[in-house]
Amino acid sequence: MEPTRAGTAARPRVGVSGSDRPRLARHVRLGFCPTRQKPILLLPETVVVLNATGAGILELCDGRRTVAEIVAELGARYRTVPDEEVRRYLTQLVARRCVELPRSGENTDG
Amino acid sequence: MDSPFGLLAELTYRCPLACAYCSNPLNMADYSDELTTDEWRRVLVEARDLGVLQCHLSGGEPLLRRDLVEIVATAHDLGLYSNLVTSALGLSRQKAEQLLAAGLDHVQVSIQADEPAVSDRIAGTPSFRRKIEAMGVVKELGWPLTMNVVLHRQNIDRVADVLRLAEEMGADRVELANTQYYGWAWRNRDALLPSREQLEAAELVVRAARDRLRDLMDVIYVIPDYYSRYPKPCMGGWASRQLTVTPNGDVLPCPAAQSLPLPRANVREDPLERIWAESPVMTAFRGTDWMPDPCRSCDRRELDFGGCRCQAFQLTGDAARTDPVCHLSPDHDLVARAVEAANADSRAGDLPLVPRPHGVRGGDRERHDAAPQGI
Which of A33, A41, A44 has the CB atom closest to B51's CB atom?
A33
Q: Which residues 24-53 of chain A have a CB within 8 Å of chain B?
A: 25-27, 29, 31, 33, 35-36, 40-50
Query: How does pLDDT run across B58-114, given as a tens digit for each residue?
Result: 999 999 999 999 999 999 999 999 999 999 999 999 999 999 999 999 999 999 999
With respect to residue A1, please indicate whether it lies within any of the assigned structural domains.
no
For residues B311 and B313, give the distance between their C-alpha atoms in angstroms, rounded to a whole number: 5
Residues in chain B with CB shorter than 8 Å from the CB of A46 are 370-373
Residues in chain A with CB shorter than 8 Å from the CB of B220 are 45
Which of B51, B142, B146 has the CB atom closest to A44's CB atom?
B146
Please tell me the total count of domains within chain A: 1
Among residues B23, B17, B22, the alpha carbon closest in space to that of B124 is found at B17
The answer on pLDDT for A8 being more than 80 is: no
Least confident of B7-16, B18-27, B141-150, B365-374: B365-374
With respect to residue A15, please indicate whether it lies within any of the assigned structural domains.
no
Averaged pLDDT of chain B: 92
- Binding residues of B for [4Fe-4S] cluster are 15, 19, 22
Q: Which helix (H) or strand (E) holds B335?
A: helix B333-342
With respect to residue A11, please indicate whether it lies within any of the assigned structural domains.
no
Q: CB–CB of A31 and B53 under 8 A?
A: yes
Considering just the CA atoms, what is the radius of gyration of chain A in Å?
A: 14
Residues in chain A with CB shorter than 8 Å from the CB of B375 are 1, 41, 48, 50, 54, 92-93
- Please tell me what DSSP assigns to residue B31: G
With respect to residue A84, please indicate whether it lies within any of the assigned structural domains.
yes
Q: How many CB pairs under 8 A join A and B?
A: 68
Place A12 in a pLDDT band, splitting at 50, 70 and 90: very low
Query: How does pLDDT run across A30-47, given as a tens digit for each residue?
Result: 999 988 999 999 998 889
Q: Which residues contact B22 (CB under 8 A, 6 or more apart)?
A: B15, B183, B184, B185, B356, B362, B363, B364, B365
Residues in chain B with CB shorter than 8 Å from the CB of A6 are 214
Q: Which residues contact B192 (CB under 8 A, 6 or more apart)?
A: B20, B21, B152, B153, B154, B179, B181, B185, B353
Please report the pLDDT score of residue A17 as a whole number: 87
With respect to residue A55, please indicate whether it lies within any of the assigned structural domains.
yes
Kindly provide the ipTM of the predicted complex, given to two decimals. 0.78
The answer on pLDDT for B345 being more than 80 is: no
CA torsion angle B56 B62 B65 B68 (round to 10):
40
Q: What is the DSSP string of B260-278?
A: SS----BTTTS-HHHHHHH
Strand boundaries in chain A, DSSP class E? 23-24, 29-33, 38-43, 46-49, 99-100
Average pLDDT over residues B227-238: 94
With respect to residue A16, please indicate whether it lies within any of the assigned structural domains.
no
Q: Does residue B3 belong to the interface with chain A, where contact is any CB pair within 8 Å?
A: yes
Q: CB–CB of A49 and B50 under 8 A?
A: no
The answer on pLDDT for B223 being more than 90 is: no
* Full domain range(s) for residue A30: 23-98
Among residues B140, B119, B141, the alpha carbon closest in space to that of B130 is found at B119
Q: CB–CB of B53 and A1 under 8 A?
A: no
CA torsion angle B352 B353 B358 B362 (round to 10):
170
Please report the pLDDT score of residue B351 as a whole number: 83
The answer on pLDDT for A58 being more than 90 is: yes
Instruction: State percent of chain B over pLDDT 90.
Output: 85
Q: Does residue B78 belong to the interface with chain A, where contact is any CB pair within 8 Å?
A: no
Which of A1, A9, A42 has the CB atom closest to B53's CB atom?
A42
Please report the pLDDT score of residue A106 as a whole number: 55
Distance from CA of B48 to the nearest CA of A (A): 8
Within B6-127, where are the H helices?
A: 37-50, 68-77, 93-102, 116-123
With respect to residue A12, please indicate whether it lies within any of the assigned structural domains.
no
Place B152 in a pLDDT band, splitting at 50, 70 and 90: very high
CATH of the domain at A52: 1.10.10.1150
Q: CB–CB of A48 and B53 under 8 A?
A: no
| pTM listed for this prediction | 0.89
- CA distances to B9, B240, B355 from B6, rounded to whole Å, are 9, 10, 30
Instruction: Name the closest residue on chain B to residue A53, using Cα atoms.
Output: B375
Q: CB–CB of B373 and A48 under 8 A?
A: yes
Instruction: Name the closest residue on chain A to residue B142, using Cα atoms.
Output: A26
Q: CB–CB of B375 and A29 under 8 A?
A: no
With respect to residue A54, please indicate whether it lies within any of the assigned structural domains.
yes
- Please tell me what DSSP assigns to residue B30: G
